[in-house]
């Protein structure tokens, strides 16, 4: 049960971010910062000569989360045994929409995140082929929204949007696969319910967790892994503010505890425009984004090498679907 006094206590803006890194049998690093404002990026690296290296980065700002973990083991004769890195970035804030015509009534808005980043993992020799090794690199980004008197379909006082992806090689497997949500694009839009005139509490976080386990057999091999969401998970802005009947609300006053305007996206939304140029299709877009294509709308999009705006496609080419992703 969520009470008004609890929500009032949580209403102030707040951040928490940090790292946990372990390498070899003796090295463990942990550092976190928390407070009303961030105090700068946390960046750390640990190295054991002739064994391996692990590093991490965590930073936060209202509307922006950053997390990165990198692990390498390059000595085939002194292989990694069990290593882990964890980076977390989280902020809490509150905002409010007020309009005398609808205050005290329910409303809805849509929101999402733009998750920018990349993952590159190379397992060599028995690190990949052995059934006795496991590698898992996992990221997730979450929006939590709480409003006094509002519950989700499961009766929880927290409404959530959850996005995640994972590079995984399980015990018994000899392949490394990625599955989950795409990077460098806006994630699926989620609708949140609130009450006009009441605080809307948000808790948004990004976390990266990387684990390599070679304890069972200590097989020889090398590893290079970079899970880089240091380019940020960006708040995607508030869209389609509306009343209980779904009608657009355009005159509501807005305020937030931190002063951040969550109505706006923390990153410029890309606009991909298509037009006919003779028998060809011309695609144009603004700078800072790469053009990707796929044969199906929900398929695996790949970056088109050297594609620049304007980009032309001929009538004899197969049907493709296009999107823009943030350039790295």
Tens of pLDDT, residue by residue over 113-127, are 988 877 888 899 999
Beta pairing partners, 311: 283
Tens of pLDDT, residue by residue over 133-177, are 999 999 999 999 999 999 999 999 999 999 999 999 999 998 888
Closest CA to 109 of 256, 263, 239: 239
Which strand (E) or helix (H) includes residue 302?
strand 302-303
> Does the structure show a pLDDT above 60 at 298?
no
Across the chain, mean pLDDT equals 89
Distance between CA atoms of residues 306 and 89, nearest Å: 33
Q: Do the beta carbons of residue 270 and residue 142 sit within 8 Å?
A: no
> Does the structure show a pLDDT above 60 at 41?
yes
Specify the 3-state DSSP secondary structure of 5: helix
Q: Report pLDDT for 232.
A: 73
Q: Is the pTM higher than 0.85?
A: no
Q: Report pLDDT for 178.
A: 87
Beta pairing partners, 34: 16
For the chain, the domains span 4-256, 273-326
- How many residues can be counted in the chain? 328
């Amino acid at each position: 049960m969520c009470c008004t006094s609890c929500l009032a206590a949580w209403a102030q803006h707040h951040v928490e971010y940090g790292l946990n890194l372990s390498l070899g049998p003796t090295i463990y690093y942990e550092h976190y910062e928390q407070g009303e404002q961030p105090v700068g990026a946390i960046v750390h690296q640990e190295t054991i000569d002739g064994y391996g290296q692990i590093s991490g980065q965590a930073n936060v700002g209202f509307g922006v989360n950053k997390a990165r973990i990198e692990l390498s083991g390059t000595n085939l004769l002194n292989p990694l045994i069990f290593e882990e890195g964890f980076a977390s970035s989280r902020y809490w804030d509150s905002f409010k929409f007020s309009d005398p015509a609808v205050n005290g009534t329910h409303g809805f808005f849509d929101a999402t995140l733009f998750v920018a980043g990349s993952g590159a993992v190379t397992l060599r020799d028995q690190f990949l082929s052995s059934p006795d090794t496991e590698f898992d690199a996992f990221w997730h980004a979450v929006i939590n929204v709480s409003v006094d008197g509002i519950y989700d379909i499961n009766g929880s006082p927290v409404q959530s949007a959850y996005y995640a992806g994972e590079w995984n090689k399980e015990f018994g497997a000899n392949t490394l696969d990625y599955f989950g949500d795409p990077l460098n694009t806006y994630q699926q839009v989620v609708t949140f319910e609130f009450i006009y005139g009441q605080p809307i509490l948000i808790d948004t976080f990004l976390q990266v967790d990387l684990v390599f386990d070679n304890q069972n057999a200590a097989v020889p091999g090398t590893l290079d892994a970079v899970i880089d969401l240091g380019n940020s998970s960006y708040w995607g802005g508030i869209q389609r503010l509306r009343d209980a009947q779904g009608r657009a609300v355009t005159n509501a006053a807005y305020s937030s505890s931190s002063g951040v305007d969550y109505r706006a996206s923390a990153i410029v939304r890309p606009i991909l425009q298509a037009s006919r140029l003779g028998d060809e299709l011309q695609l144009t877009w603004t700078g800072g984004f790469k053009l990707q294509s796929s044969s199906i709308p929900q398929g695996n999009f790949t970056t088109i090498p050297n594609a620049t705006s304007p980009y032309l496609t001929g009538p004899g080419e197969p049907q493709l679907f296009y999107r823009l992703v943030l350039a790295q």
